Amino acid sequence: MAGPFIAVIDYGIGNLRSAEKALCRAGADARLVTQPADVAAAAGVVLPGVGHFGRCSEALLRSGLWGATVDAVSDERPFLGICVGMQLLYESSEEAPGARGLGVFPGQVALLPAGVRRPQMQWNLLSVRPGSQFLAGLEQGMWAYFVHSFAAPVGDETVATCDYGGPVAAAVEAGHVWGAQFHPEKSSMAGLAALANFVRACSCDSPGLAGGHHLGGEPRVGARGGREG
């Protein structure tokens, strides 16, 4: 019954439980993972992230999962970055000039425009580019929950924007690498629908891995010790 094994990279940042549980609701066997081998075994990989770009970048390095993350991005498995996890797909951020991102997409993450309250902590309407796999079925306009002060540049990879003092990159997609500046796990039914699209992509791409690489044991609260933050 279990859907594809999706590794939610647990590198000590924020509330990852919501992402895990929402992916499970969307049909995945999602688990928080702290070991590179678990990332490597997954049919799909989710990189969450909240708070500060520099702190997330540092934490990912320190966790020993940077390499596994880079591998996941480069070996054609479905990959989804959420919030700062999406920002980490870029080269760098104004928020932490010295810190590096994964550099999948070119450019620097920048502060939201002046004249708007920061962070943007609200729901906003997405303007979705037709043809997006991630937001398939949501082209008519999806409401999504945002919490952020910085945003990626709008580029070829941008598949959705919201209006917040101008167009703000809300979702990106290039092949198997997807990203959401908003929180799909906190965007109610529409967010679950977007996550279901990701789960579906994971099922298609790696049928051999789906459900085959782990033994028993539902991942549940308290089942895994040792994670800080």
Partner 1 sequence: MRVVRVIPCLDVDAGRVVKGVRFAGLRDAGDPVELAARYDAEGADEIVFYDITASAEGRETMLEVVSRTAEEAFIPLTVGGGVRTLDDARRLLRLGADKVSINSAAVARPELIGEISGTFGAQCTVVGMDVRRSGPGTWEVYTHGGRVATGIDALGWATRCEQLGAGELVLNSMDRDGTRLGYDLELCRRVVEATGIPVVASGGVGSVAHLVEGAVAGMADAVLAASIFHYGEVTIAEAKAALTAAGVGVRPSVTAAPAR
Q: Which residues does the annotation mark as catalytic?
A: 83, 183, 185
Instruction: Identify residues 10-39 at the interface with partner 1 (CB under 8 A).
Output: 14-15, 17-18, 21-22, 24-25
- Give, as ranges, the residues between 162 and 191 that touch partner 1 (CB under 8 A): 162-164, 183, 185-191
Structure tokens at 217: 């044991």
Q: In Å, what is the CA distance from 227 to each residue of 32, 130, 133, 175, 223? A: 10, 40, 33, 32, 11
Of the pair 79, 164, the CB lying nearest partner 1 is at 164
CB 135 within 8 A of CB 182: no
Nearest to 30 by CA among 198, 181, 189: 198
* Residue whose CB is less far from partner 1, 40 or 193: 193
Q: Whole-angstrom Cα distance, residue 121 to residue 183?
A: 11
The least CB distance from residue 71 to partner 1, in Å, is 27
**Stretch touching partner 1 by CB under 8 A, among 40-48, 98-106, 156-164, 209-217:** 156-164
Kindly give, in sequence order, each residue whose CB lies less than 8 Å from that of residue 31, ignoring residues fewer than 6 positions away. Answer: 5, 6, 7, 8, 20, 38, 214, 219
Residues in 122-151 at the binding interface with partner 1, rule: CB under 8 A = 122-125, 136-138, 140-143, 145, 147-148
Q: What is the dihedral of CA 5, 28, 125, 14, to 10 degrees?
A: -60
Q: How far is CA 125 from the centre of its chain?
A: 19
Question: Per CB under 8 A, does 161 bind partner 1?
Answer: no
Cβ closest to partner 1, residue 32 vs residue 42: 32
Binding site for partner 1 (CB under 8 A): 14-15, 17-18, 21-22, 24-25, 50-52, 117-119, 121-125, 136-138, 140-143, 145, 147-148, 162-164, 183, 185-193, 196, 221, 227, 229
